[in-house]
Structures are given as C-alpha cells and as structure tokens.
C-alpha cells in the first residue's frame, strides 16, 4: 500500500465541512475528504476542490490508510447518532494515539461520554466548538477545542492556522480544557449570542415604538454605537439590516413576520444553568422571548383586549435618551457575559475542568457571531486576574457599569411607563441589583419554608446549624427531615 500523504482527514461534506477543507488547503495542509454518500466526494473533488491538493476516499478503511500518523480526523456530520456511527466505523482502522475531533454541534454530555470511551481504547478524542457559519469555516472560524489534552500538540498547528485572527493577530483558537469543555463553551457562546441579539432587539423596539425613529435614523444610531464601546459584528449587521430596502423602497425588516426560530442551543444553556443553580437570567429571558414571539396568533388576540398605558411615546429629550439607551445596552451586555462566565466557572468546578477564561474571551474575539471589541476587555480582565471571582468585580467593568447605571435605570423605568417590553435589559438590572445586595429577602422565604414544611433555617450569627421554630404553637416541632409535610 502507498505511503499515507494526508495531514488531516475530514468526514462530512456539507457546506461547513467543504469550507473547512478548503480553508485547511489554503494553509498548505493536505486534506483527505470522506462522506457517507461517497458520490459527494467525487463531486467535491471535481468542483469546489478542483485544482487543490485535496484528496478523497471512498471507504472508511481507505480514508484511514491515507492519513499520516498520528491520524487526525475531523468529523463534521449531523449531531447525534451519526457521530457515534462514524466513531464505531473508524476505531477498527485506528492505532493508539490517533485523534478524532468532532467539530459538529454535539451536546457536551455526549462529548464527555465519547472522550471517556475512546480514552479507554487509546484514541484521543476532542470535541470542538466551531463558530462563524459557512463564511467563518471558509476564511477563519472561531475554534473551541476541548477533550483529551494529549491531542492538542498535534492538532494545534492546523487549528490555529485556519482559525480567525484577532486584530492583534492572535488566533481565535486555544485549548479550552478537558472532556466536554470545548462543546460546553460553544454552548454558552450560543446562549450569549441569544442574549446579545435579544438586547439589540429590545433597544430597536424602544427606538421604534417609544421614540418613533425611522429605520434610517436607527441605522445611524447603530452606526454611532459601532464606533464606540459597543463595536461588534451584531451591531454592525443590525445597522445594515435597518438600512436594507425592499424592491418597493421600504425597509425589508418591517415586512418580516415577528416570530423567532431557534435550534436549541440557547435552551440547552438555560436548562444547564437551572441544573447548576447559576442565574444566567439574561440568556433565559432571551430564550423565553423567542418563545413568546412565536405565540403570534395569541399575541394578536391579546393586543386587541389587554390594556396598556395610554401614551406609548417618550416626551423627553430624544438625543439624551439615545445616549442612555446605549448605556443600558452596554451595561446589560456586561451582566450577560458575567453570567455566562459564572456558568462556565461552575461547570468547570462540577467537572474538574481547568478552563482558561482569558483564552475563551480571545477565542470569541474574532470569527464568531458575538465577536466584539468588548471581548478584548474581558480577556484583559482574566489576564489581569485569572482567579477573578466575577467579571463584575474587575475594576474596568465595575467602573463601566457605575458610569452606565443611571442611563440604564432611566431607560428601563421609561420602558415600563410606556409599556414596552424589556425582558433582557431588565433582568440584567435585577440581577445586578440582587448581586450587590448583601441582604436579600430570603430570610423571610426560609421562615415561610420552615412554617409550612418544617424545612429549618440557619441563624445569621450561627450558620451551619439547622433551626426549626414552632411558628403556630400548634403541632409538633419536628423538622422536614423527619416527616413529609
């Protein structure tokens, strides 16, 4: 048999897979392509990959035989059983130390399981978040690889070469951590993306309904914001969307049915945060907002019968209000990222991952949908203090919120008066105010629980000791651990 010639193999020739191959080829790696439907291999070699160094295979065995050792195999197929099927087909043709990277949208518990199963067989498994869509895959995605750490030195040159580059030239790809951490971080990234998008949508609704701005006027505001602290891909595309006219000269965005779709990664983040007991409230509200949007028919009926405030127009100084709106957006965004990093920190504790938070911010700095200047500040915060307990404790962000909070509070109070929904902007403020309260009313809550369920409480001056009170003077004073209320 001839000598293996490919530096890396890729399975799955949908657009993402094809583009990633072409990207690797641009960086002088020889790639071997394979796909379940093998006719797609030939089609790819004769069309998109014509004139490149890409080679193909028509069976898993042939594919494995063409890869240099240790083999580096990237799987980019539909998440779920297709990934397991391919792993099963590959393993008999692999040797100790060979590497399988799942670059699909796998749910992290699957990645943890696959990593552990394959480690027993001597195969190094990596689950890598890939963000940036088709364009990113072709010209520079954000890559978030995590799994068996022994794989990193082998895949690093390829991954960092093809990844997006931050403005300072640093690749938007670094080692995330152990087992399922790469896919976990990608999941949180998607949740944060939901939050960023929802925040922008809320300020759009305030500008439209509350201030009565036209789409072109709003585009100018987004343009301004994009030249400052809010500089980001999502603000930039929002500006362009608002400017975009349909063939009749009217803004296309206003003709789009207001029901949001979702593929589920935001929901995964929300569910995971509930499981872990971390209040990522902004992502939760972003998911619920999409749910509420899709109840269009019910909302149409509700709009005709449910009362709201009489006047829905803001009467104050519009220019000043727009500044405050920018402050509200910025402050809420800081809170959202703080919540996302709190969640990752808890998951790292739960799974024993050593996550590199500055590296994560850097990986999101370019290539992906949430890329922004702001992520550079988060990277700085974790570089300055890798043990940072909460992003909001970083001096830069402390001060940023301190400066923005008056505007933020004004915007939310006005939105409430005008009856304009601001679930994400408001939950961020509620979280912020909750976090900065040394004392919350959970003392009363504990008393209630003890009253009706004998669940016991602790005293401020004696934490750790369970106390039960016979609140009514009736019944016994046994606690819930001894009887079911």
Give the DSSP H or E segment for 448: helix 442-453
Terminal C-alpha separation, the chain: 73
- We find the least distance from the C-beta atom of residue 99 to ligand 2AM, in angstroms, to be 20
What secondary structure does DSSP assign to 68-112, as a single string? PSSPEEEE-S-SSHHHHHHHHHHGGG--TT-EEEE-S---HHHHH
* Ramachandran assignment for 177, one of left (phi > 0), alpha (psi -120 to 50 degrees), beta (any other): left
- We find the least distance from the C-beta atom of residue 90 to ligand 2AM, in angstroms, to be 12
Choose, by CB under 6 A, the member of 6, 8, 10, 13 that binds ligand 2AM: 13
Active site residue 186: yes
Residues 6+ apart with CB under 8 A from 462: none
- Of 2-10, 63-71, 76-84, 122-130, which segment contacts ligand 2AM by CB under 6 A? 76-84
Contact (Cβ atoms closer than 8 angstroms) between residue 450 and residue 471? yes
Nearer to ligand 2AM, 21 or 392 (CB): 21
- Work out the burial of residue 91: count CB atoms within 10 Å of its CB; fewer than 13 is exposed, 13-18 middle, 19 or more buried: middle
363 vs 21: CA distance, rounded Å? 20
Nearer to ligand 2AM, 92 or 167 (CB): 92
CA 419 from centre of chain: 29
Interface with ligand 2AM, residue 384, by CB under 6 A: no
Active site residue 120: no
Q: Which is the catalytic residue, given 66, 72, 186, 379?
A: 186
206 vs 213: CA distance, rounded Å? 9
Contact (Cβ atoms closer than 8 angstroms) between residue 144 and residue 360? yes
Interface with ligand 2AM, residue 35, by CB under 6 A: yes
Interface with ligand 2AM, residue 31, by CB under 6 A: no
* Ramachandran assignment for 456, one of left (phi > 0), alpha (psi -120 to 50 degrees), beta (any other): left
Binders in 77-96 for ligand 2AM, by CB under 6 A: 77-78, 82, 85
CA 463 from centre of chain: 37
CA 346 from centre of chain: 16
- We find the least distance from the C-beta atom of residue 215 to ligand 2AM, in angstroms, to be 36
- We find the least distance from the C-beta atom of residue 134 to ligand 2AM, in angstroms, to be 12
282 vs 135: CA distance, rounded Å? 28
Nearer to ligand 2AM, 10 or 454 (CB): 10
Nearer to ligand 2AM, 35 or 269 (CB): 35
Q: Which is the catalytic residue, given 193, 202, 215, 285?
A: 193
CA 160 from centre of chain: 21
- Of 11-19, 51-59, 94-102, 250-258, which segment contacts ligand 2AM by CB under 6 A? 11-19
- We find the least distance from the C-beta atom of residue 118 to ligand 2AM, in angstroms, to be 18
Nearer to ligand 2AM, 13 or 126 (CB): 13
- We find the least distance from the C-beta atom of residue 331 to ligand 2AM, in angstroms, to be 40
Structure tokens at 287: 């998911």
- We find the least distance from the C-beta atom of residue 12 to ligand 2AM, in angstroms, to be 4
Q: What is the residue whose two structure tokens read 């995330």? A: 176
Nearer to ligand 2AM, 10 or 283 (CB): 10
Choose, by CB under 6 A, the member of 1, 3, 28, 37 that binds ligand 2AM: 37
User: Catalytic residue positions?
Assistant: 186, 193
Residues forming contacts to ligand 2AM in the complex (CB under 6 A) are 12-14, 35-37, 40, 77-78, 82, 85
């Amino acid at each position: 048999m001839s000598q293996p010639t490919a530096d890396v193999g890729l399975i799955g020739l949908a657009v993402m897979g094809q583009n990633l191959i072409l990207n690797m080829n641009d960086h002088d790696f020889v790639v071997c392509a394979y796909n379940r439907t093998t006719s797609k291999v030939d089609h790819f070699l004769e069309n998109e990959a014509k004139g490149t160094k890409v080679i193909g295979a028509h069976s898993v065995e042939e594919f494995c035989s063409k890869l240099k050792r240790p083999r580096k195999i990237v799987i980019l197929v539909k998440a779920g059983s297709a990934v397991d099927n391919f792993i099963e087909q590959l393993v008999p043709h692999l040797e100790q130390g060979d590497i399988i990277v799942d670059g699909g949208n796998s749910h992290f518990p699957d990645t943890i399981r696959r990593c552990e199963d394959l480690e027993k067989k001597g195969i190094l498994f990596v689950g890598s978040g890939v963000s940036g869509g088709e364009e990113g895959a072709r010209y520079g995605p954000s890559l978030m690889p995590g799994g068996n750490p022994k794989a990193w030195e082998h895949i690093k040159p390829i991954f960092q070469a093809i990844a997006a580059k931050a403005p300072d030239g640093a690749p938007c790809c670094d080692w995330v951590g152990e087992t399922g951490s790469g896919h976990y971080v990608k999941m949180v990234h998607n949740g944060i993306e939901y939050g960023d998008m929802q925040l922008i949508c809320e300020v759009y609704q305030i500008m439209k309904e509350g201030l009565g701005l036209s789409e072109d006027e709003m585009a100018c505001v987004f343009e301004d914001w994009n030249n400052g602290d809010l500089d980001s891909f999502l603000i930039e595309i929002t500006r362009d969307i608002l400017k975009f006219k349909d063939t009749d000269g009217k803004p296309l965005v206003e003709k789009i049915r207001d029901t949001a779709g979702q593929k589920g990664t935001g929901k995964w983040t929300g569910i995971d945060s509930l499981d872990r007991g971390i209040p990522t409230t902004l992502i939760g509200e972003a998911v619920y907002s999409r749910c509420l949007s899709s109840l269009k028919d019910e909302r149409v009926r509700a709009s005709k019968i449910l009362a709201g405030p009489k006047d829905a127009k803001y009467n104050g100084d519009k220019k000043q209000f727009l500044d405050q709106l920018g402050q509200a957006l910025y402050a809420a965004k800081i809170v959202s990222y703080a919540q996302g990093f709190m969640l990752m920190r808890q998951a790292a504790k739960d799974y024993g991952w050593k996550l590199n938070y500055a590296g994560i911010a850097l990986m999101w700095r370019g290539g992906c949908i949430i890329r922004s200047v702001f992520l550079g500040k988060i990277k700085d915060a974790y570089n300055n203090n890798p043990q940072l307990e909460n992003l909001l404790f970083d001096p830069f962000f402390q001060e940023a919120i301190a400066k923005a909070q008056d505007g933020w509070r004004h915007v939310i109070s006005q939105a409430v008066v005008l009856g304009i929904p601001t679930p994400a902007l408001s939950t961020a403020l509620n979280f912020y105010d909750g976090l900065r309260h040394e004392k919350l009313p959970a003392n009363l809550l504990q008393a209630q629980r003890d009253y009706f369920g004998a669940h016991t409480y602790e005293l401020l001056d004696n934490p750790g000791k369970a106390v039960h009170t016979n609140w009514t003077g009736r019944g016994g004073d046994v606690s819930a651990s001894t009887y079911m209320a």
